[in-house]
Structure 1
Amino acid sequence: MKVTCNVIRDILPLYLENMLSDDSCAMIEEHIEQCQECKIYLDEMKNSNKIPVNTNTSPLLKIKSTLRKKKILTIIFSMMLSVMILVITIAFLTAPEYIPYSEESVTINEIGNGSVIAIFEDTVSGYDISSYPADDNTGYVYHITTWDSIWNRTIKKTRANNTILNPNNENVAAVYYYQTDGSEDILIYGKDINPNGGIVTLPRLFLTYYAFIALILVAVCGFFMTLFRRHKKVFNLTMKILFLPVSYLLGHLMIKGVSTTSYTATRDFYAILLVMIPLYIAFITAVRLIKENNKRKIGA
């Protein structure tokens, strides 16, 4: 029986996949030699099965580089947030809790060589001492306060070391204990240098000035960003500058809340800076991540 072209063409896919018996393959090959149309049909099938291979790896390398960059940026962002949270936690745990004056909290004694020593009770973990010459030139006036902290009570239980107020043997005219509730300082040693009126030690205000400067910078940067919103380079540069005062203000809020005065202003300022730096880096990294995501969406 003569095999028709339709039958041959039906089993050609099996022939190309080497799934036929030797007899069937011989039959097909014999038919192909005699039938030009089936031969052309077979050639077309062979060509259609060949998938062109693109050897250009540039797109893949670009995708790999983008993913690596995004991964690095994500790691940096996470690390900065972790550092910021760590600093805030430590600042909270070590924040001074000022101790109201009592005769047990601090005692002022004279020792044999003319020195005056401050002796602290066990609950005191830190103290602050400031001094200035008395108006009548009789010596120096000292203001002292003490505090405890959550860190000291629960984690590292230490006590403040006793300290000599006048290591250079200067005369101690008076020692006052100042409290942080706005009440008058309490004379605990020497003579009252202001018997006609009380002395009140006020908190430092320089954090107020820094916060005010930061607010001005935010306003100025916002103005320039609005003015140059169509100039990408100027806009992006101004935005990076804007993140500095914004980071400082957020750091201030995280450390001090809305208060801008402090009896430990130097400590608070350094804590704000330690929050500000990772927060600023996190802002810059977040912007980079957003840009990378936008590029991927546009490319898609």
Structure 2
Amino acid sequence: MKVTCHVIKDMLPLYSENMLSEDSCKMVEEHIEQCQNCKNDLNDMRTFNEVPVNRDVSPLLKIKSTLRKKKIQTVILSVLFSMIFFIVAFAFLTEPEYIPYNERSVTINEIGNGSVLAQFDDSINGYDIDKYLTDDGYVYHVTTWTNIWNRNIKKSHINNTLLNPNGENVTSVYYYNAGVSEDVLIFGQEIEPDGGVITLPRLNLSYYVIIAAGLAIVSGLVMLINRRNKTVFTFSLKLFFLPVAYLIAHLLIKGFTSTSYAAIRDFYLILLIVMPLYSAFILMWHLTSNYKNNKTLL
């Protein structure tokens, strides 16, 4: 019986894999000796056409570099926010808690040769002393404070201090109660016999808040006007981040209050937060921009 090409072609895959019986193999071989078309089909099956492999690894290296960069940026961002957290925690723990005047908190004594000594109670962890010159001599304003850190964690006490180590003439020493009431005269003569003396908090931080808010508004307007100009927009955005970082840092340290009896301390703490916070803003902006660019490419 003559076998058709259709039957042989159905058997060729099995034949090429040596999966036919001996009789079937013999039948296929006899046919392909007579049929060139089937023989060509068999040769095609036996020919292994290797699929070309793209050996260019540069895209993979680029992906690896991008992932490594993102990982580093994420670590840096975590470090920056950790720094902010620890600074805020330190500010909270060391925030001065001003102590209202009592006779035990501080005593002023003249010890000879015109020297005036301030002696503090053991419960006092810190003090502030301001002085200014009058026609009769120097007037001193003293206050004392404690804080959570010194009271509960690092228990420490302050030493007595000499108010006039250079022999200044001490006219008066007042104890100010940090906005609670009028200053209390604890040594010397009253400089305002017709009225009380009140030590007011510093307003420096208020001015800085106003400047920062103004700069944020101006840079924000510049961004809005030049949103199509990439160079100007980028510059104004980076400038915008700076006052915003200051305002947030002020909020973290002082809340919604802008007056302070420890303005220098508070200002330095605010600056310590501004630096990592501003860096975090810039880094987050870069991460967001890269994400948007990659999403656009996809």
2:9 aligned to 6, 17, 42, which one?
A: 6
**Counterpart position of 1:221:** 219
Q: Which runs of 5+ in 1 are unaligned?
A: none
Counterparts of 1:110 and 1:2 in 2: how far apart (Å)?
Answer: 135
SS of structure 1 residue aligned to 2:112: coil
RMSD between aligned alpha carbons? Answer: 2.5
Counterparts of 1:215 and 1:145 in 2: how far apart (Å)?
Answer: 32
**Counterpart position of 2:193:** 195
Counterparts of 1:149 and 1:197 in 2: how far apart (Å)?
Answer: 32
The AA in structure 2 aligned to 1:282 is: A
The AA in structure 2 aligned to 1:63 is: I
Counterparts of 1:140 and 1:93 in 2: how far apart (Å)?
Answer: 34
Give 1:112 deviation, angstroms: 3.1
The CA deviation string for residues 65-93 of structure 1, in whole angstroms up to 9 with x for no partner, is 21111111111111111100110000001
Relative contact order (alpha carbons < 8 A, sep ≥ 6): 1 or 2 greater?
Answer: 1
Structure 1 residues 157, 31: closer, same or farther in 2, change over 3 A?
A: farther
Counterparts of 1:249 and 1:298 in 2: how far apart (Å)?
Answer: 34
Counterparts of 1:159 and 1:234 in 2: how far apart (Å)?
Answer: 54
1:110 and 2:113 correspond: no
Structure 1 residues 43, 114: closer, same or farther in 2, change over 3 A?
A: farther
Give the TM-score of the pair, scaled to structure 2: 0.90
The answer to whether the 8 Å contact 1:74/1:289 transfers is no
Q: Which moved more, 1:151-160 or 1:46-55?
A: 46-55
Structure 1 residues 21, 217: closer, same or farther in 2, change over 3 A?
A: same
The answer to whether the 8 Å contact 1:8/1:28 transfers is no
The AA in structure 1 aligned to 2:227 is: R
Counterparts of 1:254 and 1:157 in 2: how far apart (Å)?
Answer: 26
Counterparts of 2:61 and 2:175 in 1: how far apart (Å)?
Answer: 69
Give 1:41 deviation, angstroms: 3.1
Q: Which moved more, 1:103-112 or 1:32-41?
A: 32-41
Give 1:141 deviation, angstroms: 0.5
Kindly report which structure 2 residues correspond to 1:40-59, keeping only aligned pairs within 5 A, or say none.
40-45=40-45, 50-59=50-59
**Counterpart position of 1:129:** 129
Give 1:38 deviation, angstroms: 3.9
Structure 1 residues 2, 116: closer, same or farther in 2, change over 3 A?
A: farther
1:179 and 2:182 correspond: no
Give 1:36 deviation, angstroms: 3.5
Aligned residues: 294
The CA deviation string for residues 35-86 of structure 1, in whole angstroms up to 9 with x for no partner, is 5434443454466763220011221121112111111111111111110011
Q: Which moved more, 1:182-191 or 1:253-262?
A: 182-191
The answer to whether the 8 Å contact 2:13/2:45 transfers is no
Kindly report which structure 2 residues correspond to 1:1-300, keeping only aligned pairs within 5 A, or say none.
4-11=7-14, 15=17, 30=29, 34=33, 35-45=35-45, 50-134=50-134, 136=135, 138-300=136-298
Structure 1 residues 50, 174: closer, same or farther in 2, change over 3 A?
A: same
Structure 1 residues 47, 279: closer, same or farther in 2, change over 3 A?
A: farther
The answer to whether the 8 Å contact 1:174/1:190 transfers is yes
Counterparts of 1:205 and 1:10 in 2: how far apart (Å)?
Answer: 93
Displacement over 4 Å in runs of 4+ = 1-4, 19-24, 26-33, 42-49
The AA in structure 2 aligned to 1:176 is: Y
Structure 1 residues 107, 42: closer, same or farther in 2, change over 3 A?
A: farther
Q: Which moved more, 1:158-167 or 1:107-116?
A: 107-116
Give aligned-pair identity as a percent: 53
Counterparts of 1:235 and 1:190 in 2: how far apart (Å)?
Answer: 62
SS of structure 2 residue aligned to 1:246: helix
Counterparts of 1:294 and 1:72 in 2: how far apart (Å)?
Answer: 19
Counterparts of 2:279 and 2:187 in 1: how far apart (Å)?
Answer: 50
Give 1:151 deviation, angstroms: 0.8
Give 1:170 deviation, angstroms: 1.1
The answer to whether the 8 Å contact 2:139/2:172 transfers is yes
Give 1:27 deviation, angstroms: 6.2
The CA deviation string for residues 169-195 of structure 1, in whole angstroms up to 9 with x for no partner, is 111111000011252110001111111
Give the TM-score of the pair, scaled to structure 1: 0.90
Structure 1 residues 299, 125: closer, same or farther in 2, change over 3 A?
A: same
The AA in structure 2 aligned to 1:197 is: G
Counterparts of 1:66 and 1:150 in 2: how far apart (Å)?
Answer: 45
